[in-house]
Amino acid sequence: MKTKYVLLIVLLLAGTTSQAQFGKLKAKLKSKTSKSKKVKSKRSKDGEPEYDPNNKVSQAQRSAKQALSFVEKGLQKKNWEASSRGIKKDLQKARKNLDVLKGEDSENNRKYYKNYEARYAQFKNTFATKMQAYGEKKAVENYFVEAHRNLRVMNDEFYTKKAFGEAAKRLDYKGEFAKKKASYQASNKPNARIDKYVKAIDEFYNNAVPKEYIPAMVKYIDKETKSAFDKKKWEWRPQDALKTLAKGKKVVEIGKMLSLKPSSELKASENKLEAHRKMIQEYIDSGKYEAYKAKVKQKRIDEKRVNKVGMRNPQAEAIAKNALAKKFGVPVLRIAIGSVRWDVKKNNVGVPLYKYLYVEGAIKKKDGNCHVVVAWVRRSYEGGGRYGAMFAADLREDGQINCANIYK
């Protein structure tokens, strides 16, 4: 009986020990599991998750944080504009990753996320403000760069050239340039490059124009329009004279566009051109020009003569006379060889091509007017010093003649 009690006690003790040991094991396992969960959910004071390369939330948080850091450093640089493209890309990267965090209920209410969003908004606004200011600054600088480029064109081109006038109009010194210059100076934002260009342009208009360009223009106008003031020339060709005066007027207009103050020299030149233009225009409109043309034409007709006889050759005269009569359909009233001998036409190596005589004649057309006509009598070279038969070539009119003067 004692033995049974002993065995029972031993079994009870063994079971208790096993349960105790198993309980300790479970406690250890439970402890380890709990510790593992704590590692996975470890966060900073602001709620930033511990980095886990396999967790998209962790990756998004880290990428957003890095991108915002890069943006902040970029904006703090003195020459930040050189990194503007990189800053823009980092802002885009930050926004993309913040949107990932925004979509996670476990993250979008945490302190770090709200801080990121606040920084992003601040950096975005700062960048936009800087870019706007930079854009305005570049626009101002680019305007003066272009203005100086136009000045270089004007320095390189003669003032009558189209390129000169177009460059002067684009520069518009008294208009747009003056406004831009005043705005730039009022901004109190000095720029060495702009100051250099403004100085060069001011120097051109304030000194070079009145001291060099205007005097040169006046001399040029006087020289180039001189023919328009020659009575013999403008009386016969008044339209050409008007065109010449118009060219002078164009130079005057360029001078006026360049001048900051009225030029007495330029004004005198302009008045001279305009007075002469009006006189020539009145000459045309009054009919005096047509009367003059008729008078000159009649004078030329009265002075016209058939050429003097240089030699006689009845055969050549007959050939020319028949050819001219056939050409113009009326009888030839007179024929005269102007050449004093047969002349030989050779090629570029000295071989004869033909020999010829110059012949003039006179005809009376059906309208009653008489005209001088011309023919060339030729003999083609056949080789061995021999020339072929005579023939007439190059038949044409050579002006009207007074019928009473045909035989003079």
Q: How far is CA 140 from the centre of its chain?
A: 21
pLDDT of residue 134: 85
Instruction: Say if residue 363's pLDDT is above 70.
Output: yes
Instruction: Evaluate if residue 3 carries a pLDDT over 70.
Output: no
User: What pLDDT sits at residue 81?
Assistant: 86
pLDDT of amino acid 136: 81
Query: What's the pLDDT band for 41 if we cut at 50, 70, 90?
Result: low
The whole model's pTM is what?
0.60
pLDDT-wise least confident of 134-148, 245-259, 356-370: 134-148
CA–CA distances in Å: residue 52 to residues 11, 55, 61, 95: 51, 5, 10, 20
Asked whether the predicted pLDDT for residue 17 surpasses 80, the reply is no
**Residue 145 clears pLDDT 50, i.e. is over it:** yes
Q: Is the pLDDT of residue 39 over 60?
A: no
Mean pLDDT, all residues of the chain: 89
The Cα 68–Cα 87 span in angstroms is 9
- How many other C-beta atoms are found inside a 10 Å radius of the C-beta of residue 390? 18
Angle of the 111-156 helix axis to the 192-203 helix axis, nearest 10: 20
